[in-house]
Amino acid sequence: MCEATGTATGTVLIENETVRVTEWHFAREGDNTGWHRHEFDYVVVPLFDGQLRIEAPRGQMSLADLRNGVPYYRNAGVEHDVINANPFPCRFIEVEIL
């Protein structure tokens, strides 16, 4: 993921020539990643049951229902801001395929 300036905290756990693995932590409802565009294909593994609000270009909003440990895949080029829609902290692991 490119540099984003939101209130969520991203901690790079692994980075090499093949993958970058980042743990994203949202301490409270409303925390966000900040606007960003994914430069690489990626997989997200939620570490909670709940929802994230996704804001896309042109103000489009959607809710993503996530389940602990159930991964999903996205192609490079996705542009969005990811926002914690839960009244509790949440985390996910993002694996970018470099």
30-88 pLDDT, tens digit each: 999 999 999 999 999 999 999 999 999 988 999 999 999 999 999 999 999 999 999 99
- Calpha distance 4→45 (Å, rounded): 20
- Mean pLDDT of the 16-21 span: 98
pLDDT for the residue numbered 10:
96
Phi then psi for 58, rounded to 5 degrees? 65, 25
How far are the Cα atoms of 16, 21, 60, 69 from residue 87, in angstroms, in the given order? 35, 26, 22, 20
pTM of the model: 0.93
Structure token pair of residue 30: 């409303």
The CATH code for residues 9-97 is 2.60.120.10
